Chain A
């Protein structure tokens, strides 16, 4: 069958499965989440093998940065879902005192999750967990660039989860473009800003809400007043993790000229501790995902002052951890998200200059700053904008599931993780349940109107500024008395 038609059928089947209502009951959602947990635990070795094949990711890295995150998210979801999915009561006013007023969390319908290639397992699983928890059907589209993981996901998901509700569709740019023509009830996309625009434009045709987890150049400011040893060590860890292919990696460093050399030396020392003398032999260092990105990164090195590293090997897509000093803000490497193990240092004379530098550019996904001066940290945060911030470390804000993870401006819109995932994939439906009786209070709003009726109505409807909260009992009493008075006046 022609691929487009096949896709349409898969999406239609997911829609029909959703409309059957079976993904809504809490019990069903919890069972699917537990099945997903079993998938991860039972097939851990295969997952790690796929990640190794795609990115030369070591088993320990695969576990720490992909599998653990998924298990943590599932555990949190299973624990909290009953609370989050329950109707949420809200404060009432005099008019609605005897009514039921609450917010009803409901699934959106059929959600499309498009994954990325750099953390190909967790970036598909984490949104999937949220979408399932919220009661949706989910069409899963892993990135074709991390082909082994994509293939594995397509094999494993149907073995553990409901086959109609959670189909996996694989394919490249053509297939994804066709898939985006279908109508979904939410699209969750992780990837580049460029493609993010294409996704949102496709979504606009159907008025489909989107969550876009994009990227940018996450700046890392290192103040003169800080523990440089620790700062450099943490930066080295975060920058070269996954061979630099992390959306929230510190992209470039901003620091004073006077500490530039020390930063370089400390990172050098740290890398030797991490990976030994010959990093090529280290099992813990990944590779660039493919030749295209390898070549792109090599081009960025042109004309730069390499203070450390710079070795490359095209056959294995190996690029050594590299540090560039005195980088010009106008150079190519400062114009695009690096997404590789190249660390440019741009010198600035002060924190203010750093703030100005950051604000002249697109809002990044993450902002990092190292300083002993708490006031400076507070000021830098309040005078800049970014998806998230970690001060005195890198990456770590991603790991707290209670923090919303997402971008702003060019780095994205919407957020997820934990409760935020549940909210992202839910519709908050306002419910007001009244009784058919008690018509007297309603009468003040019906025509024919009069000044007297208006005065009564204003009393009931107008919220006053700064009045202390009336006790609920007093309010009820007041409401009852007024209802009786109005009944007499207007019956």
Chain B
């Protein structure tokens, strides 16, 4: 007997009472979430420090504030989002009321990853609550301290009938996925994404998959590379490289590689001092398994900067690998660590061709002062999101949708896109019982005369939609 049947049924029963639909309930839950973030700030900082030695600065900015922003944005805009959306009508429906209703799906499952264990489970939760759903959240067991914190403290803030936290590993997740949900939101690897989608298919459950890939970063031949280096190092080393939108590898000319290396070295020293292991601002790798996986990639190309590791601390120094070949191990998988391989290409067209031979990534970056070159890369490639002359920042703007394409995912969220993702957009047409004579045009028997009338009333004109049906 599936251990989660009872939990899912009770949430479904709560859903059927309709209480999560009311605007007041949604607002109260969002406000409770905000209180959780304020009151539990220290436990959150402690849990993240324990899980991956995430610097408090990063926890505040990339975890707590990201969620708070979403909560406040939702609270500010909820009544607008919940309104019925009016639409254009045609000739026959001129006197009718036509609108799109945004309705909750029902019972939603949100599965979170370990790298931003708070943000990547609570930001979707904000959207699901704002849209009026009941939610089961399943944080990652790998970031075990944060998982424990969420399981033990979050439920006391939220309505226990409508929201639950489930803990466990792959076995538990498999069993959870056997149940029927009305929407599934998954953040994690493409491999597991396929498993989640196959499980969803059995119940025809719609879903959003936020996956990953190798995010390429093309650096054009620029005279001054210091700003490029700073932004690259910041993006690569945030959370010790364990960021789904981090620049994964650099593509540039051999000349630029030579100029880039000292600039990167300078930026690393500026940020972390001569011995990054002693910097309080640099995180650690989450687990032994991940540590060993990343360490094995260090044989690719040559270690131009860094390369030091410490197994006890799961420390990997900010590292740059130069002259990496496309066939090297570092180019076969998403790195997800503070290691930046540089692959040299003769020019931007070769870079574009290289990028297009790989799976489509979650993010793509170009550093160039020539806006035409930036445009060219944008228009001849495909990726979830795109950033020119910076890394990561495109996913911090709440007005931009965040999501992947192809192997990096399907669907998107953040801000209003979250609300829309967790809502069913129901088309509604309210007609009157009168004006039956107009309807008569559609009824049999059809005669030549009627068809002529129909055709002239329909009259498909190019400008404007003059369709009767």
Decide whether A and B are members of one complex.
yes
Among B346-367, those with CB < 8 Å from A are 356, 367
Q: Which chain A residue lies CB-closest to B271? A: A447
Q: Does B75 contact A (CB under 8 A)?
A: yes
Is A404 located at the chain interface by the 8 A CB criterion?
yes
Which B residues between 428 and 467 are near A, CB-CB below 8 angstroms? 428-433, 436, 439, 442-446, 450-451, 454, 458, 460-465, 467
**CB 8 Å contact bits of B353-387 with A (1 = contact, 0 = none):** 00010000000000111010010001110111111
Q: Which residues of A contact B467 (CB under 8 A)?
A: 68-69, 71-72, 75, 399, 401
Knowing A78-B462, A79-B464, A237-B443 are in contact, say whether A108-B405 is a contact too (CB < 8 A).
yes
- B197 contacts the other chain (CB 8 A): yes
Q: A207 touching B206 by the CB < 8 A rule?
A: no
Question: Contacts of A106 on B, CB cut-off 8 Å?
Answer: 382
Whether A433 contacts B445 by the Cβ 8 Å rule is: no
Beyond A58-B446, A212-B204, A385-B103, whether A432 also contacts B390 by CB under 8 A is yes
CB distance from A25 to the nearest CB of B (A): 10
Is B307 on the interface with A (CB-CB < 8 A)? no
Interface centre among B87, B90, B98, B433 (most CB of A within 10 A): B433
- Asked if residues A274 and B433 are in contact (CB atoms below 8 Å), the reply is no
Whether A403 pairs with B401 at a CB distance below 8 angstroms is no
Instruction: Please report which residues of chain B, range 202-217, place their CB below 8 angstroms from some CB of chain A when the two chains form the complex.
Output: 202, 204, 206, 209, 211
Q: Assuming the A-B contacts A282-B445, A385-B424, A399-B467, are A104 and B386 also in contact, with contact meaning beta carbons closer than 8 angstroms in the complex?
A: yes
Digit string of A69-95 for contact with B (CB within 8 Å is 1, else 0)? 101100110110000000000111101
User: What A residues does B405 contact at CB under 8 A?
Assistant: 108, 427, 429
| Chain A residues within 8 Å of B444, by CB | 274-275, 282, 284-285
Q: Determine if A231 and B433 form an interchain contact, defined as CB atoms under 8 angstroms apart.
A: yes
Q: For residue A104, which residues in chain B have a CB less than 8 angstroms away from its CB?
A: 378, 386
Residues of B within 8 A of A432 (CB): 385-388, 390, 393-394, 397, 400
A68 and B397 alpha carbons, distance in the complex (Å): 43
In the complex, A442 has a CB within 8 A of chain B: yes
B254 located at the interface, meaning its Cβ lies under 8 Å from any Cβ of chain A in the complex? no
Q: In the bound complex, do residue B410 and residue A447 qualify as a contact, i.e. CB atoms below 8 Å apart?
A: no
For the residues of A in contact with B, the DSSP-based class is: mixed
**Chain B min CB distance to A66 (Å):** 10
Interface size class of A (residues with CB under 8 A): 35 or more
A437 within 8 A of B: yes
B122 nearest CB across to chain A (Å) = 15
List of B residues within 8 angstroms of A283 by Cβ: 446
Stretch binding the partner chain, chosen from B154-162, B226-234, B293-301, B331-339: B226-234
**Within the complex, which residue of B55, B197, B451 is in contact with A207, where a contact is CB–CB below 8 Å?**
B197
Q: Which of A427-451 contact B (CB under 8 A)?
A: 427-437, 439, 442, 445-449
Complex contact A200–B75 (CB within 8 A)? no
Indicate if the CB atoms of A442 and B76 lie closer than 8 Å: no
A464 in contact with B61 (CB, 8 Å) = no
Q: How far is the CB of A159 from chain B (nearest CB, A)?
A: 22
| Selected A-B contacts with CB under 8 Å, 13 pairs | A64-B454, A69-B467, A92-B399, A108-B405, A200-B197, A385-B106, A392-B433, A413-B206, A415-B425, A430-B400, A436-B228, A437-B227, A465-B72
Nearest first, the 10 A-B pairs at minimum CB distance are: A447-B281, A204-B197, A200-B201, A403-B427, A72-B467, A432-B394, A402-B87, A449-B57, A60-B446, A388-B427
User: In the complex, given contacts A285-B444, A429-B405, what are 7 additional A-B residue pairs having Cβ atoms less than 8 angstroms apart?
Assistant: A79-B464, A200-B201, A208-B410, A227-B433, A282-B445, A432-B388, A449-B280
